């Protein structure tokens, strides 16, 4: 039997990917050290015969990973294993795991690429819109090289991902690994952690619990929010579509909104009495972010289908069910 390895499979996006692959009839090997993910995300997959969970840190010595994986034949590897929330108030944030984040995207990427090379497996590296930093060009196309502070607060993530991209194409050029890079733009949906700290989950949790909705800065900064089901479709197409080897794709929803607009929408959709409160804008917070997805449309025939309203509705329903205690 051939498996698809999902590194970071117990996380938010990874858990949806594991489920989608299993639903499509593919055996899945999920590798995760649970640093920011949660076993409850994959609990419902646990009794499926073709699902294997291995608790493991991909940044350890290669021999450890290699022996853990021995006996499994792999056809493809999705590398999603990295902390991803920039909110220093969250215990899951990459700001609180600076070295772990750098290593997940450097040593971790190296280890997984060595596995891909040995197995002759396809490889997909989950990069990020953050490699564009605080962009001077909008929307951001794949051939924009970005505006990144190499040692600012966010650099452990931004530069980690930039290194990961270079490593991925280094292995492709030197060893011919069948690799592609996907730059994920702000994605949200069920299975985000209540205490993740990213904006959509924070605003929904705050609105549902009646606490203040915390806008950092004046709320004029923009983001473009993609619902997770669209992202999973894009990730699988980027891995398995013909002609994706050696390509870089932006995946995200180009529907650009201000953070203030998002807060107002969530307050209205939840019927919340929460007040909007303004707090200090974190260092290095990008002012604009919007993907140019022309390339994904052309090569993958992919574009997001779920509107922000529809996606928020599903996410609000999820948090209503999953939040520990509502007042
Ligand atoms: P997440 O934190 O929910 O998932 C990441 C998973 O990786 C977690 O389960 C975590 O425990 C695991 N992990 C981290 N370091 C590991 C290690 N050393 N060994 C094994 N497992 C490890 O975050 P997410 O939002 O699902 O993000 C998944 C990937 O997508 C990340 O690489 C992230 O950088 C990228 N991404 C996400 C977004 C987004 O908006 N959600 C945007 C851009 C990029
Ligand atoms: N943000 C906010 N309040 C919060 C959390 C985030 O105003 O409680 C803002 C944050 O400053 C940023 C945007 O929302 O401008 C998106 O933040 P997120 O953490 O989701 O990810 P980013 O896109 O910055 O990586």
DSSP state, residue 243: T
10 Cα–ligand 1 center, Å: 9
Give me the pLDDT at residue 323, please: 87
Instruction: Report DSSP state, residue 120.
Output: T
The DSSP result for 135-171, as a single string, is -SSSSBPTT---B--TTSTTHHHHHHHHHHHHHHHHH
Does any ligand 1 atom lie closer than 6 A to the CB of residue 104?
yes
What are 85's two structure tokens? Answer: 């929330």
* Gap between the Cα atoms of 48 and 32, Å rounded: 18
- Torsion angle (degrees, nearest 10) of CA 231, 233, 239, 241: -140
Confidence (pTM):
0.98
Tell me the domain boundaries of the chain: 2-189+226-254+289-305
Confidence (pLDDT) at 326 = 53
Q: pLDDT at position 176, please? A: 98
CA of 190 to the centre of ligand 2 (A): 18
Nearest atom in ligand 1 to 100's CA: 18
2-189+226-254+289-305 belongs to which homologous superfamily?
Answer: NAD(P)-binding Rossmann-like Domain (3.40.50.720)
Cis peptide before 180 (omega within 30 of 0): no
Atom of ligand 1 nearest to the CA of 38: 9
Q: How far apart are CA 40 and CA 48, in angstroms?
A: 15
CA distance to 133, 134, 210, 254, 309, per residue, from 287 (Å): 10, 6, 28, 15, 23
Q: Which residues of the chain have pLDDT under 70?
A: 324-327
Reduced 3-state DSSP string for 168-220: HHHHHHHHCCCEEEEEECCEECCCCCCCCCCHHHHHHHHHHHCCCEEEECCCC
Cα 214 to middle of ligand 2, angstroms: 10
């Amino acid at each position: 039997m051939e498996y698809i390895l999902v590194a970071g499979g117990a996380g938010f996006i990874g858990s949806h990917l594991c489920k989608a692959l299993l639903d499509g009839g593919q055996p899945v090997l999920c590798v995760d050290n649970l640093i920011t993910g949660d076993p409850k995300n994959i609990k419902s997959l646990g009794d499926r015969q073709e699902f294997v969970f291995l608790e493991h840190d991909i940044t350890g010595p290669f021999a450890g990973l290699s022996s853990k994986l021995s006996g499994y034949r792999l056809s493809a590897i999705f590398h999603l294993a990295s902390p991803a929330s920039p909110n220093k108030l969250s215990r899951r944030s990459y700001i609180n795991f600076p070295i772990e984040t750098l290593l997940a995207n450097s040593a971790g990427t190296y280890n997984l690429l060595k596995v891909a090379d040995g197995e002759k497996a396809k490889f997909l590296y989950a990069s990020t819109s953050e490699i564009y930093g605080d962009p001077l060009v909008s929307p951001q196309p794949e051939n924009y090289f970005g505006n990144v502070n190499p040692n600012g607060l966010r650099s452990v993530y931004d530069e980690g991902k930039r290194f990961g991209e270079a490593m991925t194409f280094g292995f492709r050029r030197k060893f011919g690994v069948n690799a592609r890079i996907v730059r994920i733009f702000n994605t949200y949906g069920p299975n985000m952690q209540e205490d993740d700290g990213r904006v959509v989950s924070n605003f929904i949790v705050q609105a549902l619990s009646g606490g203040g909705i915390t806008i950092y800065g004046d709320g004029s900064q923009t983001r473009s929010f993609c619902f997770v089901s669209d992202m999973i479709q894009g990730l699988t197409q980027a891995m398995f579509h013909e002609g994706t080897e050696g390509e870089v794709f932006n995946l995200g929803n180009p529907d650009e909104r201000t953070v203030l607009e998002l807060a107002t929408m969530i307050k209205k959709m939840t019927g919340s009495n929460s007040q909007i409160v303004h707090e200090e804008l974190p260092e290095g917070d990008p002012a604009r972010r919007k993907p140019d997805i022309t390339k994904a449309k052309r090569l993958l025939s992919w574009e997001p289908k779920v509107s922000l309203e529809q996606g928020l509705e599903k996410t609000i329903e999820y948090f209503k069910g999953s939040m520990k205690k509502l007042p």
